[in-house]
Amino acid sequence: MAFPGTWMTESETLVYRVVPKCACSTIGQIMFYADHGRYYDGDIHDATEGLHKWAQDASQPRIEAVVRAGTAPAFTCVRNPYTRILSTFFDKIAGIQRNGKRYRGNLIPELSAHYGIRVDGDFDQIASFRRFLLFARDTIRWKKPMEPDIHWSAMSSHVATFIANGGRYDAIFHLEGFEPGMQAVLDRAHLRVPVRVADVPRFNESAGHGPARAHPVADYFDDLARHLMWDIYHRDFRLFRYDPDDPSNPRPTGPVDLDEVHAKLGR
């Protein structure tokens, strides 16, 4: 069985299922610090040592053994779908990546040609975002004109692979309550180096990649956009307790029910 997108401390004290655009850079740096007493010098996604990752062949048997034995807390972090998809748009579609290029090479010209999306200069953020949302729906619903990207795939799809392949989460917390949620996970782990989340800087590796959001969140989501959001992310809204009717409210309506998540995503 495979556990894609799973990271683990070298000390085998924490297991994390990455959900893109949900503080994964900060969480990865916290895990690195918990073993080494220092933060990784660079983007933690580029690290090839100091942290076990499923994408590294040598890490796979170690991760699988710990997950199956349940000897370390396994967790993930989720986020309001409205703010997550906006973050994806400004980072991956409107932004320039660390290598100085557009994300996925020829993606932007294709989006411009087929969906009328414009992201150069002083572009209409609301119009282009809504067209991107239609494109994201097409990739998820019909896998056309391409497979859905991990950055806009539903959070429940990422979370589900860990369960389907035999893992079980000990915690799923909300990004909107990051500090207490992350601290609760750390407090139940036997770390080499203690970590106080309140003292940890936020490692937003996408910061500065794209233009600043010019409008309140709710302005990007008219009635049609909210309908598309529900069509794409209804499981995320339901399972992770977010309000689909009010884009202006980022807060969850309640805690995640782990038993419900395992029951519904483990089918």
pLDDT of residue 209: 66
Kindly list the domain boundaries of the chain, sorted by start residue.
Answer: 82-149+209-232
**Structural contact between residues 203 and 26, judged by C-beta atoms closer than 8 angstroms:** yes
What are the angstrom distances between the C-alpha of 204 and each of 21, 43, 107, 256? Answer: 9, 9, 23, 24
pLDDT of residue 205: 64
pLDDT of residue 101: 87
Q: What is the pLDDT along the chain (267 residues), one digit of tens a residue?
A: 689 999 999 999 999 999 999 999 999 999 999 999 999 999 999 999 999 999 999 999 999 999 999 999 999 999 999 999 999 999 999 998 878 889 988 898 999 999 999 999 999 999 999 999 999 999 999 999 999 999 999 999 999 999 999 999 999 999 999 999 999 999 999 999 999 999 999 887 665 667 999 999 999 999 999 999 999 999 999 999 999 999 999 999 999 999 999 999 997
Residue 194's contacts (CB-CB under 8 Å, 6 or more residues apart) are: none
202 vs 176: CA distance, rounded Å: 13
- pTM assigned to the model: 0.95
CA-wise closest residue to 79 among 151, 155, 180, 144: 155
pLDDT of residue 98: 78
51 vs 28: CA distance, rounded Å: 8
**Structural contact between residues 188 and 75, judged by C-beta atoms closer than 8 angstroms:** no
Q: Mapping DSSP to helix (H, G, I), strand (E, B) and coil, where does residue 210 land?
A: coil
pLDDT of residue 208: 63
pLDDT of residue 96: 85
Dihedral angle, C-alpha 6, 12, 13, 19, nearest 10 °: -10
pLDDT of residue 206: 63
Bin 179: left if φ > 0, else alpha if -120 < ψ < 50, else beta.
alpha
